[in-house]
């Protein structure tokens, strides 16, 4: 569906973990909602960046992979049949509480009484290295910024670039199946959890990971999108070519609010300040939750986004039902459609 006109109580911008849980919370309060995401699939960072990595700090889940968490969140909203408009970015937002109008990049028009922005890092994208011919190798998957399927790298020679947690975690994880791993960083020291650093030292000592420091990426070698080598150089101009079929670059996420920055909502450093008790932004009727929301003491954790989703949905109830007091009820009392 594209170019559609739809009306709903609440539009949720972003179908990452917090947007999905906001759909559950709105539905439990009997408010209609619609999920919109710029990506073609739900899941936000969990699916786009680390579907096969276990998360250890989701309450009651000792370990759950990013992709599996999203499957469970999707299953949780299944009884409510929440419509999903995927593969389209919300570009425009006008109106006021009770009567908002949103436009998407595919020409849809959405009328909503309230808005929840669960857009994570906003215009979603990795920081890309400035290398000649990069796009050609991105298209074929020779150069990547996330690991969707570890099995893709079985028996392969890889260059992993970056000095933080992601680069080190993936170097350690993929060292179990790759043929060779070069870990390239522009400094001698890596910035990661002490436990990861000691595992890295061990992997280097055993020869399963080769540390290439202090080197920066310089160029890509190969043809027709097939990578054969990655050129790296020191600041003094000493150049080396590392034989590799893949380059995995972990230089962090580009945080840019994209069109959201133009909607007249207060913002600070690519995040949206909210009232902590309700998650309302500076624009009445518009709420922000998850990574994009900020307030004193904010932790960019999925579990905190879940709690923000519940607070925003309860605050929105008064906008959707102006003459009705909210009677607070536990889910154990309410149940979900189809529950006994």
The reply to whether 229 sits near ligand FAD by the rule CB under 6 A is no
The partner residues of 230 in beta bridges, in order of sequence, read 220, 242
CB of 115 to ligand FAD, least distance (A): 11
Window of 76-84, 171-179, 190-198, 252-260 that interacts with ligand FAD by CB under 6 A: 252-260
Nearer to ligand FAD, 60 or 205 (CB): 60
The reply to whether 55 sits near ligand FAD by the rule CB under 6 A is yes
Give the Cα separation of 32 and 53 in Å (integer). 33
Q: With beta carbons less than 8 A apart as the criterion, state whether 250 and 164 touch.
A: yes
Give the Cα separation of 133 and 184 in Å (integer). 20
Closest CA to 268 of 277, 255, 278: 255
The reply to whether 255 sits near ligand FAD by the rule CB under 6 A is no
The reply to whether 162 sits near ligand FAD by the rule CB under 6 A is no
Nearer to ligand FAD, 43 or 229 (CB): 43
CB of 22 to ligand FAD, least distance (A): 9
CB of 21 to ligand FAD, least distance (A): 8
Residue from 31, 35, 302, 313 that binds ligand FAD (CB under 6 A)?
302
The reply to whether 290 sits near ligand FAD by the rule CB under 6 A is yes
Q: With beta carbons less than 8 A apart as the criterion, state whether 321 and 300 touch.
A: no
Q: With beta carbons less than 8 A apart as the criterion, state whether 324 and 80 touch.
A: no
Residue from 6, 39, 208, 318 that binds ligand FAD (CB under 6 A)?
39
In a 13 Å sphere around the CA of 27, the CA atoms on its Cβ side amount to 22
Nearer to ligand FAD, 39 or 336 (CB): 39
Q: Residue 117, SS3?
A: strand
- Tokens at 99, concatenated: 């009567």
Count the residues in the chain.
340
| Site mask for ligand FAD (CB under 6 A), range 113-142, x = bound | -----xxxxx-x------------------
Give the Cα separation of 224 and 26 in Å (integer). 48
The reply to whether 51 sits near ligand FAD by the rule CB under 6 A is no
Nearer to ligand FAD, 17 or 285 (CB): 17
Scanning 133-217, the segments in alpha helix (DSSP H) are 134-140, 165-174, 194-205
Residue from 300, 307, 318, 336 that binds ligand FAD (CB under 6 A)?
300
Q: With beta carbons less than 8 A apart as the criterion, state whether 148 and 51 touch.
A: yes
The reply to whether 44 sits near ligand FAD by the rule CB under 6 A is yes
Window of 17-25, 214-222, 230-238, 328-336 that interacts with ligand FAD by CB under 6 A: 17-25
The reply to whether 260 sits near ligand FAD by the rule CB under 6 A is yes
CB of 329 to ligand FAD, least distance (A): 26
In a 13 Å sphere around the CA of 170, the CA atoms on its Cβ side amount to 31
The reply to whether 13 sits near ligand FAD by the rule CB under 6 A is yes
Closest CA to 19 of 309, 234, 243: 309
Q: Residue 212, SS3?
A: strand
Neighbour-count burial for 161-179, b at 16+ CB within 10 Å, e otherwise:
bbbeebbbbbbbebbeebe
Nearer to ligand FAD, 17 or 229 (CB): 17
Footprint of ligand FAD (CB under 6 A): 13-19, 36-39, 44-46, 49-50, 55, 57, 89-90, 118-122, 124, 166, 258-260, 290-291, 300-303, 305
């Amino acid at each position: 569906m594209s170019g559609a006109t739809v009306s709903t109580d609440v539009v949720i911008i972003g179908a990452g973990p917090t947007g999905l849980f906001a759909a559950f919370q709105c539905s439990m309060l009997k408010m209609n909602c619609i999920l919109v995401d710029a990506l073609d699939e739900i899941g936000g960072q969990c699916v786009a960046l680390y579907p096969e990595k276990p998360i250890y700090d989701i309450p009651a889940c000792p370990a759950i992979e990013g992709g599996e968490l999203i499957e469970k969140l999707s299953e949780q909203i299944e009884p409510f049949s929440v419509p999903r408009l995927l593969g389209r970015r919300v570009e425009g937002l006008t109106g006021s509480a009770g009567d908002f109008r949103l436009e998407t990049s595919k020409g849809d028009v959405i009328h909503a009484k309230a808005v929840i922005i669960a857009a994570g890092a906003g215009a979603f994208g990795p920081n890309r290295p400035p290398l000649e011919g990069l796009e050609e190798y991105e298209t074929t998957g020779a150069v990547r910024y996330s690991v969707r399927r570890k099995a893709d790298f079985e028996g392969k020679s890889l260059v992993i670039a970056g000095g933080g947690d992601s680069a080190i975690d993936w170097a350690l994880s993929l060292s179990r199946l790759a043929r060779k791993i070069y870990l390239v960083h522009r400094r001698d020291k890596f910035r990661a959890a002490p436990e990861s650093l000691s595992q890295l030292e061990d992997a280097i000592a055993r020869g399963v990971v080769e540390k290439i420091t202090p080197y920066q990426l310089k160029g890509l070698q190969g043809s027709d999108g097939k990578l054969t080598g990655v050129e790296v150089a020191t600041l003094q101009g000493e150049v080396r070519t590392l034989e590799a079929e893949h380059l995995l670059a972990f230089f962090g996420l580009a945080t840019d609010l994209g069109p959201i920055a133009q909607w007249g909502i207060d913002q600070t450093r690519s995040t949206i300040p909210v009232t902590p008790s309700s998650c309302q932004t500076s624009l009445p009727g518009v709420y922000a939750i998850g990574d994009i929301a900020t307030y004193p003491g904010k932790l960019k954790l999925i579990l905190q986004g879940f709690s923000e989703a519940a607070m925003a949905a309860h605050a929105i109830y008064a906008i959707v039902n102006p003459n009705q007091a909210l009677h607070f009820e536990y889910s154990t009392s309410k149940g979900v459609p189809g529950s006994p």
